[in-house]
Chains A and B, each alone.
Chain A
């Protein structure tokens, strides 16, 4: 029997099967196809027998368990499905606007950063935001000013207390120590005495003091340090907002620094050498240098400038402070422009 010969029969059979499946009996259907009864009857009878086969229904519990398993598998697949390819991943970001914006911002930063690096390549410097963000070591010096009370002083190091944070400065032969405009010796500094220190932050983080200004009034001795804070001149208010980008006195050659670059503080990325562990004081935002910043107008007193031979040991070897008095807290920050 070829397919061509089957074609009429199969078409007829299909129409008959449709009626049987609809519920008619084979006999009723075959009455309309008497000429093909011999060929159709055994097939329709067999089809009716198959149609009559009973199939047990699964229990409700089995059905519910199967659905739960399917939904759990769907959830699991949804959580673990990772579309292949970067494009698919980027496409999925459309459903997550925040992530998309974050990535866009990162790309923009990378582009701008590259541009900044390119521009800085000509000057040989690293852009400050990038250096600050990645905490890159500064390759240039910058001007730093601090105000605090003397904790200890020696020929090669001065430790001051700045708002409960001790900061060490290197002293050397070029460091000018003055009191009221008069040059004095480092040994004339007393614990608890209020001082204004101008220093240069070196590339390695050391703070090299080039000027130490003590207040004009005679400072108490170490044994009288407890009362020094009350006699101290008004503290210099430094501010991160007043950081200058100008080098001062030819000492500061660096670039402007961010708030995180407050050298000499414990959180300055290793720049608080020789200082004990202490909480970093928060800078007083928005403060501006008061007119007395530079101690101008202070009556000069005896000049006693002392120079010392050669740079001393690193500030990391800060001598043990003695007779540390209660001090006023002052700020440490970048120098402000000289008026």
Chain B
């Protein structure tokens, strides 16, 4: 059960500015293309941040709906549309984590039923990922993002630089430091 990681081939809108213009014009074909290209990445990002498939579903859905509602605010200035989507995904994920924190705080007084425990088990990530996710949760935001985008999502350094608004050199430095920091968090 592995999510898609390879970047899909660019379809009708080959140039980024053409895609951006078509998205602003609410061209359904453009939106479908964006969805096909970015949905899995957004989902993966949300899942790796939340370790929860239900949250990842909600976040991914919210990201694209929010993008459709706010496309008039997007101005193409060289950065790919995916970078804008990624920023929305980041904000949606942060909001989801805040909501979860509030929910967990309030639900501490609720009786834990067998159904609740079973449901939590079903959405719990694998053990291998649970430790890594916990360690990544302690990383700086930019380190966490660069590791997810570069290593989990499989983006190139150039793509990560565009998504994060950094230079390629800065991304290379960030990914090295992020790996060093993660290793330090995982070591007993």
Which residues in A have some Cβ–Cβ distance to B below 8 Å?
Answer: 3, 6-7, 9-11, 13-14, 17, 21, 42-43, 46-47, 49-58, 62-63, 65-67, 69-78, 81
Contacts and interface: CB of A to CB of B under 8 A. Distances in A.
B3 to A, nearest CB: 4
B179 interface: yes
Interface string B123-142: 00010110010000000000
Interface stretch (B32-40, B98-106, B112-120): B32-40
B69 A17 contact: no
B86 interface: no
A10 B172 contact: yes
Given A17-B151, A55-B43, A57-B40, 17 more contacts: A6-B173, A6-B176, A10-B173, A10-B175, A46-B186, A50-B151, A53-B129, A53-B132, A54-B2, A54-B129, A55-B2, A58-B53, A65-B61, A70-B61, A71-B31, A73-B66, A77-B71
Contacts of A81: 72
Interface band, chain B = 35 or more
Contacts of A76: 69
A14 B64 contact: no
B176 A9 contact: yes
A154 to B, nearest CB: 72
A109 to B, nearest CB: 33
23 contacts: A6-B177, A9-B176, A10-B172, A13-B175, A17-B150, A49-B132, A50-B152, A50-B182, A54-B1, A54-B2, A54-B3, A55-B2, A55-B47, A55-B152, A57-B1, A57-B40, A66-B57, A66-B60, A70-B35, A74-B26, A74-B28, A74-B71, A76-B69
Shortest 6 CB-CB distances between A and B: which pairs?
A55-B3, A73-B68, A78-B26, A70-B64, A74-B68, A66-B61
Contacts of B44: 55
A53 B128 contact: yes
B166 interface: no
A51 B26 CA distance: 36
B26 A77 contact: yes
B89 interface: no
B157 A69 contact: no
B67 interface: yes
Main secondary structure of the interface of B (DSSP, over half): helix
Contacts, number: 132
A180 B64 CA distance: 90
Given A14-B175, A43-B180, A77-B72, A66 B151 contact: no
Contacts of A67: 32, 35, 39, 64
Contacts of B47: 55-56
B56 interface: yes
Given A54-B2, A58-B56, A21 B154 contact: yes
Contact of A71 (B2, B68, B71, B129): B68
Nearest to A20: B151
